[in-house]
Amino acid sequence: MVEQQDTPPTKLVLGPENEHFWLVQRMAKATGIDLVKAADADIMSQKDWADIVTHCRGCDWSDGCGRWLDQSREVLRDLPQPCVNRTRLAEIKADLEELMP
């Protein structure tokens, strides 16, 4: 009989909170999402914000994200495919657009 060895669970390593806070801020700005307006309009709660930053901290595309964000800052862009927050940020953007007359 082969003895089975217990393997420890894989630990999720999160990136630096401050760095990812700013990556999310920059992503929102680059894609035309007003996070302050979203919070003021109750589209995004404090928990939503914390979840978005935490998801970003667990993303393995943060280096690519930084490079993407360092590209042209003069034109609004679509959310990039690899962004782990793409769906939630797109929802926030759509909800904000509904508020506009």
Kindly list the distances between the CA atom of residue 67 and the CA atoms of 27, 51, 54, 72, 97, in Å, as whole numbers in the listed order: 11, 23, 20, 10, 27
For 30-66, how does the pLDDT look when each residue is reduced to its tens digit (9 = 90+)?
A: 999 999 999 999 999 999 999 999 999 999 998 899 9
Q: pLDDT value at position 1?
A: 53
Instruction: Read off the pLDDT band of 67 (50, 70, 90).
Output: very high
pTM, 2 dp: 0.84
Domain boundaries of the chain, sorted by first residue: 17-69+80-99
Q: For residues 25 and 59, give the distance between their C-alpha atoms in angstroms, rounded to a whole number.
A: 15
User: What pLDDT sits at residue 62?
Assistant: 81
